[in-house]
Every structure is written in C-alpha cells, then in structure tokens.
Structure 1
Amino acid sequence: MSSRCHSPLSLRRIVAPVALIFLLACSSRGATGERPNFIIILADDMGWNDARFCGNTNVDTPHLDALARSGAVFTQACASAPTCAPTRASLLTGQYTPRHGVYNVVDPRHAPGSPHHKILATETRPDLPDGTVTLAEALKSAGYTSALFGMWNLGRGRSGPSAPTGQGFDLFVEPTDLGFAKEAYHREDGVYTSDALTDAALDWIKREKDRPFFLYLAFHDVHGPFDPKPELLDKYRQRRSVAEPDLCATVEAMDANIGRLLAGLEHWGLSDRTYVIFTSDNGGVRQAVAPLRGGKGTLYQGGLRVPAILSGPGIAAGQKIETPVLSMDFFPTVLEWAGLRADASMPVDGKSLVPLLSGKEKSITRDLFWHFPVYSGPITPCSAIRSGDWKLLEFFESGQSELYDLSRDPGELQNLAASEPGRAKELRDKLHAWQSSLWAPRPTEPNPAYDPAAPARGGGRPERATSASPVPPSNGLFVVSSPDFADGGKLPAECTGDGSGFSPPLEWRGAPSGTKSFALIMDHQAPDAVKSYWNIWNIPPDVTCLEKNGKAPGMVGIGFRGRQGYEPPHSKGPGPKTYVITVYALSSMIGIDKPAHEVTREVLLDAMKGQSLGSATLRVTYERPASAL
C-alpha cells in the first residue's frame, strides 16, 4: 500500500483555517499581549544523555541545567521517529508518521528498488500532505505570529505550500540566509551558525514582544560532522574523561545560545508568560546512548530516547516525570496552553501533557507506536510498539519479532519473543491493529533488483565477515562474545570502504571477583597491517555490553575517523584479515594523565600493569570478495 494513502484522514487546507480550531473561553487572560508565548528548541541528533542535566558530567550545559531545574524533565521521552524529518513532521502536527507519510529524509540512496534492499520499502513523502494543519497554522488562527529559525527539512524551496511560510510561519530564516554554506558550522568570517541564528531570533522577539508569538528554533547542533569553536574544543581536549571533545564542544556552544535566548526573555519581561520546550529530533549517533541499544535510525531505545524539558508559567520547578511521552505530544500540549482545541475532524494522535505537568494526573495510560517502513543506511524497515514496560519490534525483511522487558532490560539485550510467546502475540496483534487503523504500509514484497553482491554505495569495496569465535578464556570463566557472531557461522555483516562498517554488539560475562572496571583494546591483524585500532578504559563494572554508537556514562573511547564503534579497518591486500577484541578485567579504575585522543595502545597497557585480573578475547575473521579486489 502506498504511503500516500492517507489524505482522507486530514482536512483540506482550504477549509482548515475556518473549521480546525475552536477558541475556548479561557483562551485569553486579558489583553492580547498577556497570552502566553511558545518557544520550541530542537537539537539535531542529540542523545538522551548528552547534557549534564541528563547525567553526563563530561559536558558543561549550565543553561539547559537551569531550564531543567525551573520546570519538568521527562526522563522517558522519545522521538516520534528515529530520524529527523519524520519527527519534525510529528512534532508540528501531533500525528503518528503513517498519517503524514514522512518516514525519512529524502535521499536517493534510500529509494525503493535499490539493489542493496531485500524488499520494496515504502516511499517517503518529501513534505507534509495537503490538508495537514501545523502548529504554526493552529496558533495563527488565534492571532499568534510565528517564526522558524534553522532547519525545516519538510520540503524544499523558499516559497510555495511546502515551505515554512506556506505552513503557517510568518518568517523563515535558515543558515544560508545568514551567509553560511549548507550544513556548515562556521561562516567564512568565523561567525558560528547557532550564534547567528540566535542573534536573528532575539532580534525577531524584540520586534514581536508586544504580541503573542511562537518561535521554533531548530539548531543544526549537534549533527555531525563537527566544526566546533576552537576554544571549546581545546577545553574538552584537556579533560581526560572526554572521549569526544568535538561533540561536547558543540553541545556547550548550543547551550550558551540557549542561555542568551533565555536571558533575552528575562530582559524583556517575557519569562513569566513564555513556555519553553527543549528536545531532540532523534537519539544520538555517537555518544551517551549506552547502556541503551542502537542509535539514530534504529527503533531500539538508543535511537528513540531524547532529552526533554518543559518549563513555563504554572509548571512546578524541579519535576522529573517518568511517563513515556513522544514528540507529537507537544502539539496538543501547546494548544491547551493557548486555550485552543482541535476540531474533532482533525486527527491528533498526541496527548496533552498539561495534566501531568499540573499534577492532576500521575501518568498517561496508552500504547506507543513507531513505524519506519524504509531503509536508512544499514537500517532495515521495521515497526514497534511499547505497552507499559514491554516493547516489541517487528522487522519486515524477515518477519521476525523481538520482545523486551524494559523494566529489567533497558539495553534490549534479552529477546524474550521465544520464551514469552503469548505476550509477543498480544503486542504483535496490537501493532497490526494500529497499523490497519492508520492504513500504515507494511512492506513485504521482494525486491526483484536485490543483489547481495552489489558494489557498496559511494564506490566502497565490500568486506564480509566469515566467522567469529571466542578465544579460550584466560581464567576459565571470563568470555567475550557477540549475539550477531555465532561460532564459525556465516555472517551477513558487511564492511564497506565508504566507512559504513559493521560492528556487532559485544557482551562479556564471568569477570573475576574484585573487578572494579574494564578496559578494551581492538587490534587489526592483516597480511599488510598489524596495528592497534581502538581502545577504551574505565568501563564501569556493571556495564557488560558495548555497541556501536553507544557507551556508558564515564567511559572513555578512542573513535576511528570521528566515529564511536569498532568497524574493521580497511586493508588493501587480498586474503583473510582478523581483528581481535580483548576485554580486560581490572582491579581498579585507571588514571592516565593524557587527553583521551593521545592514549595509544602502549600507554593503556602500561597503565594496566599489575591490575589485570583476567582477560577475554573475540577474534573476527573477514575478507574482501575476489570480485571487489
């Protein structure tokens, strides 16, 4: 079924301004200027633990921390989708993705029919469908002026119905309007992107401060590749505990601009009547997703969990709310704050969070759904449901399901689908019923163009893992393994020369008693190269799993080409190669008086002298097919 088969669910745009919104009696507290203002600040690719108020002590975010203290932090907040465009669409419409049909960023590499895709995936919309009413349009019906500064990502062009000014915004300013190259962090004169956007936003607030306004500030921070301010980069490079100084520097730069924005509200006397929402468009890419699994693009918790703060008049300070919420919930929340409600003919899937914020309700009882029927890099089409603490993922390529108890297994490592068949069926039936109710496409048709030997995208050379096996443990008990790498089994994982890589989740068990931390070293062994490739240390003793793009708070890592993970290196010679991953159990935490990026294998081994209680090793063999040489 086409992803476009949902237009009957929405009002036509021609009648929306008249029929959509009813103004409630409590919508105004006096003069027009006394109505509340709304600011939504959206970070890009910011992980659930990428700020200090989330528990990450490696990065300084004093202004976000203050905002969190002034209002409510939703500790189980999730993006409505695992990538940016669909989350932005859901945030502005209050709808699940099958209603608006925006499933991913439009990219030729993701198009249905690619030889890399086993099934024919759904085609994503590039923009919002006709008849969809955005938050800016809803507020405009009540006399609000609206502006978007930053990233739109829901249609191309500066004018027309798919542009922000065709979707209810009175003003749209993107970085290119301010002299920046596309997706650049710095202008030629050295001005930083988020500095310039914040300056423009403050100028607009100053002009519009005497009337109710809606500001949507969508930063490019903290999307990679990074180009941080030199002084902040130097600051974090001097901290031993910081593995990714470029990411931390980018987060702090964004935080400083949020501080300037909040200071402007205070200066103009607007703080007491302005609601501020801060969140991210999807889970993190590199840092601070562990012990959660996955990252951006996946429907595992690491790809969905995001930071979320709501602050403003009537919201009690210092709240931490554990109820799971989604990005689409902000739409009805803002409507209620504005004294508006949606007409019954307009489908809104989100739930207002006002009852939770006011204390009238302790939780929201509902099932949550995600639908991602598209390919995105190595990510395959899938769908998911969360019901209470139980979560089920369904993968369309294989038809297989995974079931997790998030209360016991937040890292989604123990698939209980086989041991809990009744519960798995219950959630699967709920998921299918929800999909049917929204006419959600379920891609299952085989792709006739699929070619498993197709050259890698970008001209990369494929390298296929052929086997993996644990080395006999050093103490008879301590072992390291990977659920994706069965002993001696043929592996579907693939590493390509464009850097996409493959990286199974690592798990270890049986560590000796007295273990206070772990260290990990990966060595690359090939006919033409033997070298250390990756190392981390001071892994907390309660962390027994690592995955690409994820690490636990306090861990320190050395990335490859700016990435976290352990993709195999690219050896130019023919024949099999091996990379060896060794996990060391240590009797203490290690102190190394060097920035993380300067710690070599030899430095780490020297620091571990006399402290190793045992080690466990996994060898993975891979080779490049002859056709790729």
Structure 2
Amino acid sequence: MMVKSAFLLALSMTAFAILTGHAGESNANERPNILLVMADDQGYGDAGYNDHPFVKTPHLDAMARDGVVFDHFYAAAPVCSPTRASVMTGRHPFRCNVPNHGHYMHPAESTIAEALQSVGYVTGHFGKWHIGSVQPESATSPGGAGFDEWLSGLNFFDNDPYLSHNGTYKKLEGPGSVISMDATLEFLRKHAKGDQPMFAVTWFPAPHDPHQEIPQATDGAATMYQKEAGKKAGYYREITLLDQQVGRLRGALKELEIADNTLLFYCSDNGGLNPQTSGGRAMKGSIYEGGLRVPAILQWPSRYQHQVIATPASTCDLYPTLLAVADVEIEDQPTLDGINLLPILAGKQDQRPPLGFWHGHSQGQSTWSDRIIKSLKEAQDAGKPNPLPQRVLKNVYQYPKFDRNQATRGHAAWNKWPWKLHRIENKGRVRWELYNLADDPMERADVSGDAPDVLESMQKELEAWQKSVLQSWSGADYGDQKTGVR
C-alpha cells in the first residue's frame, strides 16, 4: 500500500476539486469523514422516497431530497455476506472466498478500512459483520480487517444481543439497531474534534427476520403496520426503526458541525423480503432484479446537491470510489469489479462497464450470532480456553479447485445496460435468458431469440468473467501471501 508524495497529493486533490466543481473551497484539500450505513434485507421499494404505500421513512426521504439518489444501484449478491465482502474490497465476493452467507473473507484481501487507515483515518465498525470471526485473535475479525474500534455481531441480531467489543464479549440491552447506532455516535463524538478524519461502517441488523425490534418512542409501535402488512408488519416496523437511527446520525453530524465535509452513504445488502416492492422480479436470494436492486443514497453537502443517477452502480464501486475520494493508491491491487463513481457523480460519464453477478454456486454456512458469542463470553468470563477454535479462520487458506462439471454451476448474470443476460446452470445443463431492462424492468420477456448478436457477444463476456472470478477464488491474486496473513 503506497500513499502519494505531498506534491502529488496536492495536485491530485486539486484535480478532484476541479472535477467536482469546488476548486475554490477552503476545505478542498481536506479528506472528508466517511460513513457507510447498510440495512440488512431492505428492498428497493421499501422506503417512502421510492413511493412505498405506507412505510414511514421520513429521515431517508429527507436524505434523498438533499442528496444523490442512485436509481439503479445493485448489491453485489442477493444475500448478505457476499455483498459485505464487495463493500470492503471492490471485488466480486467469489474472488474473496465469500460465495454465500457465512463464509469468511480472505485475510490477504486489501480492505477499504486498511486503505483509509494508511492515510490517517481512525476507523470503526458497528453492527453486523458476517464476513469473518469476531474473536480478537482472528485475522478475519473487524480488527484484522483494518478497524481500530468495533462493536460487532457475527450475523444478524435483534433485542438484547451478544456482541464483541474489540474482542471482549458482552451482552447488551436494547434493540440491536439502536445499539449499533449508539456505538457509532459514541465513536463520532470521541473523534470529531481530533486531528484524524473518521471512517465508520454501521451495518444494521434490521430489517432481517425475526423482526423483534420496534420503532422507538412511537405510539402503537408494537402493532404498527399490522393492518397494512399483516405477517410482514415486523419487517416494516424494523425499517422505520432503522430510519430513526439514520435520523439520529444525520442530527449528530449537524450537532458536531461536521456534516458538510462528511460523505454519508446508505444502501441495503440485498433485495427485500416482499417481491411486490422489490423493484424488480423476485426478491432476496435471486439475481433477478428484485434480489439485487436496492435503495442507495449519498449525502456530501460540501460537494453534491440533489440529483438522481440513472447509471447502474454497485456495492463493488464503493471501494474504488472511496480510494479516489481519500486519494489513496494500493500497490499490487488485485482485480477490481467496481469502478470509481466520481466521474458519474460529476456528470462527466453516464456509461459504465458491465456488472457481473453469480449466486447458487456454493451453499451458505449457518452462523448463530448470539449462540456463538454467548459461548465465547462464558469461556472468557470463566478463564477457560476458546470453545470454538475452528471458527477463528475456518477455510480461508483452502483454495478451491473445481472440475469442469462444478466450475460454473449456479445462476450468473451479466448486466450490460440496458441488456441483462442470465446463465442458469443446473446439473450440467445450461439455460440462457436475455432481457432489455429499459423496456422490461421486470424481466418478463426473454428476447434471447430476437437478438442473436447481443446474446453471443454477452455470452462470451460473461463466461470470460466467470473464468477470471474462479482464478481469483483459487488464490491466483495473492501470490506469496497465500499461506499467511499480510
């Protein structure tokens, strides 16, 4: 990892200021605070600003009015862990050893937290982790991935959770999403007047089931949305709860007088739980649009006014974009699937390279956050050995090799806007589907027979990308780092 010289840094930041139209501002050479906030299972249409018929999200709605709305923003995967790996690395999650939920991200990956640490950021992670261990000795813990401070759960959690605080296991009282924001605000207040810019990642455990959290200080909170949503009422209650936490965060940024030069980004980790409001076909677990398209808003008052971005973007794009924002270069950067979004935000670019998706290749691995951390806490309190040593690293140093019959199994897609190609392989049999998303956003009319040239060229591109992904997953990107931690 290499930080530029002072001269190149100043030159690059001047160019960045010109690109964003703020060359004359006094803070043009200051690195912003960066906050990444993510919901767990919120669908594209499950917010007021995206015209949901009843769910109340006034703070997200206000953020959307003030900030940049990405109208075709995609999670890298239709389930949680893989998308989180893409945020951290800018790479498709298979490359990082996270093909499905519960797998651990490889320790040799370069993370955005490490990159920002290298140029002076103080870093914190708060909430759901689910891409590694929360044991302090693990290179896959938040601390091992570049976070100075962390209060993290292994997977989703609800009320009164067990969490790991910098490797010390604790049982806390209250709703998990509120606890996650409490820790975030404590981090911001602790460091706001310091001489380091702040990087905080808040990954809410809501609105993942079993939906035990309820909105705070709200009349009738426990039965809110019962009439409108029935069995799904708890899902929408948790969305309103996390909206309240976004409001707390935005309020704190103003209170601390750091809102103007803070980049705040909000999105979900995959599609939602209601296909009727998912923004496309299907829902969580599918790489049709409803499983991937998610709400996404960027707020950075000193740089951007309200606009709506129609160009497709992805969670893989966060890593290269933030590297550009903070002006960091990475030596020997492995293959990226994401791009720097700054030219798109500046109106200099309205096209992007294709986006690849792939799911169903490997099974997920169950991770019971409270059960596991409770066991670790009991051993820690009693001075006993780690009862779960197998969970420190799991399989991160096993580099998979797949034979011809296994290599490309599952459901893959290639989004070359407006075209989206699906390759569905099951038991060695392959089926292709092609959709024009501009004309058919619900992916109802397969036009593969009507556009043979488009079909053939996209088939070649998708299969070449799949080959590249498998090479990365087998450890080809790590060189001599394959058998140890960086």
Corresponding residue for residue 50 of structure 2: 54
Q: CA deviation at 1:254?
A: 0.4
Instruction: Look up the match of 1:193.
Output: 176
Range that drifts further, 185-194 or 279-288: 185-194
**2 CA distance for matches of 1:58 and 1:73?**
20
The more displaced of 152-161 and 212-221 is: 152-161
Q: Take 2:438 and 2:178, find their aligned partners in 1: how far apart are those partners? A: 41
Higher strand share: 1
Alpha-carbon distance change, 417 to 31 in structure 1, aligned in 2, over 3 angstroms: closer
Q: Report SS of the residue matched to 1:244.
A: helix
Is the helix fraction higher in 1 or 2? 2
Give the Å deviation of 1:253: 0.6
| Map of 1:396 onto structure 2 | 425
Q: Give 1:32 deviation, angstroms.
A: 13
The residue identity in structure 1 corresponding to 2:142 is P
Moved more, 29-38 or 167-176: 29-38
Alignment-derived partner of residue 234 in structure 1:
223
Distance 1:190 1:98, change over 3 A: closer
Secondary structure at 1:371's aligned position in 2?
strand
Instruction: Please give the alpha-carbon distance, in whole angstroms, between the structure 2 residues aligned to 1:366 and 1:137.
Output: 26
Q: Structure 1 residue 99 and structure 2 residue 95: aligned?
A: yes
- CA deviation string 1:291-349 (max 9, x = no partner): 62111111100111011111104443221110011101011111111122333544333
Distance 2:444 2:42 in 1: 23
Q: Quote the offset at 1:426 in angstroms.
A: 1.8
What displacement does 1:21 show? 4.5
Residue 203 of structure 1 corresponds to which residue in structure 2? 186
Q: Aligned partners of 1:334 and 1:427: how far apart in 2? A: 30
SS at match of 1:198: helix
Return the TM-score normalized by structure 2: 0.76
Q: In the alignment, what sits opposite 1:464? A: none
Aligned equivalents of 1:190, 1:137: Cα separation in 2: 31
In 2, the alpha carbon distance for the partners of 1:189 and 1:314 equals 37
Q: Report the TM-score, using the length of structure 1 for normalisation.
A: 0.59
CA distance in 1, matches of 2:149, 2:173: 25
Asked which structure has the greater RCO (Cα within 8 Å, sep 6+), the reply is 2
Query: What amino acid is the match of 1:347?
Result: T
- Equivalent position to 1:322, from 310, 322, 325: 310
Distance 2:77 2:278 in 1: 19
Change (3 A) 1:32 1:346: farther
1:418-433 superposed matches below 5 A? 418-433=449-464
Q: Is the 8 A contact 1:391 1:404 kept in 2?
A: yes
Amino acid at match of 2:38: L
1:165 to 140, 143, 148: 143
Rg bigger for which structure? 1
Root-mean-square deviation (CA), in Å? 2.7
The one of 241, 245, 250 equivalent to 1:253 is 241
Distance across 2 between alignment mates of 1:316 and 1:33: 16
**Partners of 1:274 and 1:52 in 2: how far apart?**
24
- Report the CA distance shift for 1:349/1:375 in structure 2 as closer, same or farther (over 3 A): closer
| 1:386 matched residue in structure 2 | 415
Q: Is the 8 A contact 1:20 1:138 kept in 2?
A: no
Q: How far is the alpha carbon of 1:127 from its aligned partner?
A: 1.9
1:438: how far off?
3.5
Question: Take 1:290 and 1:105, find their aligned partners in 2: how far apart are those partners?
Answer: 20
Deviation per CA, 1:395-450: give whole Å up to 9, x if none. 121211111111221111122223433322221111112222343599xxxxxxxx
Equivalent residues in 2 for 1:363-512, closer than 5 Å:
363-375=350-362, 381-397=410-426, 398-439=429-470
Question: CA contact under 8 A between 1:22 and 1:342: conserved in structure 2?
Answer: no
Instruction: Tell me: CA distance 1:138–1:441, structure 2 relative to 1, closer, same or farther (3 Å).
Output: closer
Which residue identity is paired with 2:432? S
Partner of 2:209: 224
Over residues 236-257 of structure 1, what are the superposed CA-to-partner deviations in whole Å (9 max), with x where a residue is unaligned? 235x477732222111110101
Match of 2:374 in 1: none
Q: Distance in 1 between matches of 2:27 and 2:418?
A: 46
Q: Secondary structure at the match of 2:356?
A: strand
> What is the deviation of 1:368?
1.2
SS of 1:59's partner is coil
Report the Cα distance in structure 1 between the residues aligned to 2:134 and 2:243, rounded to whole angstroms: 30
Q: Is the 8 A contact 1:127 1:155 kept in 2?
A: yes
Asked if structure 1 preserves the Cα contact closer than 8 Å seen for 2:158 and 2:213, the reply is no
Residues 132, 150 of structure 1: CA spacing in aligned structure 2 closer, same or farther, 3 A cutoff? same
Contact 2:46/2:278 (CA < 8 Å) preserved in 1? Answer: no
Residue identity over aligned pairs, in percent, reads 32
| 1:273 and 1:313 in contact (8 A); partners too | yes
What residue number does 2:264 align with? 276
**Offset, 1:196:** 1.6
> Are the equivalent residues in 2 in contact too, given 1:20–1:346 (CA < 8 A)?
no
Deviates most, 284-293 or 35-44: 284-293
Q: Please name the residue that 2:323 is paired with.
A: 335
Secondary structure at 1:48 match in 2: coil
Residues 166/53 of structure 1: CA separation in 2 closer, same or farther (3 Å cut): same
Q: Which residue of 2 aligns with 1:35?
A: 31
The question of 1:140 aligning with 2:117 is answered yes
Preserved contact between residue 290 and residue 302 of structure 1 (Cα < 8 Å):
yes
Aligned residues: 397
Q: Deviations over 1:123-155 (max 9, x none)?
A: xxx322242110000001101110000011111
Confirm or deny: 8 A CA contact 2:156 2:208 kept in the other structure.
no
Letter in 2 for 1:66: A
Q: Which of 133, 141, 157 is the aligned partner of 1:183?
A: 157
Runs of 5+ in structure 1 lacking a partner?
A: 1-18, 107-125, 443-629
Counterpart of 1:381, as a letter, is G
**Given that residues 329 and 351 in structure 1 are in contact (C-alpha distance below 8 angstroms), is that contact kept between their aligned partners in structure 2?**
yes
C-alpha spacing 1:258/1:393, structure 2 compared with 1 (3 Å)? same
Superposed CA deviations along residues 164-186 of structure 1, whole A, max 9, x for unmatched, are 1011000110259xxxx972235
Given that 1:185 and 1:226 are in contact with CA atoms closer than 8 Å, whether structure 2 keeps it comes out as no
SS in 1 for 2:438: coil
Aligned counterpart, 1:88: 84
3-state DSSP of counterpart to 1:399:
strand
Q: Deviation at 1:225? A: 1.4
Contact 1:22-1:343 within 8 A present in 2 as well: no
**CA separation in 2, counterparts of 1:78 and 1:366?**
14
Change (3 A) 1:58 1:186: farther
Quick one: which amino acid aligns to residue 232 of structure 1? A
Matched letter for residue 308 of structure 1: A
How big is each residue's C-alpha offset from its partner over 1:348-400, in whole Å with a ceiling of 9 and x where there is no partner?
33111111222232x133111112252559xx811110112111111121211
Q: Is the 8 A contact 1:97 1:371 kept in 2?
A: no
Distance 2:198 2:297 in 1: 19
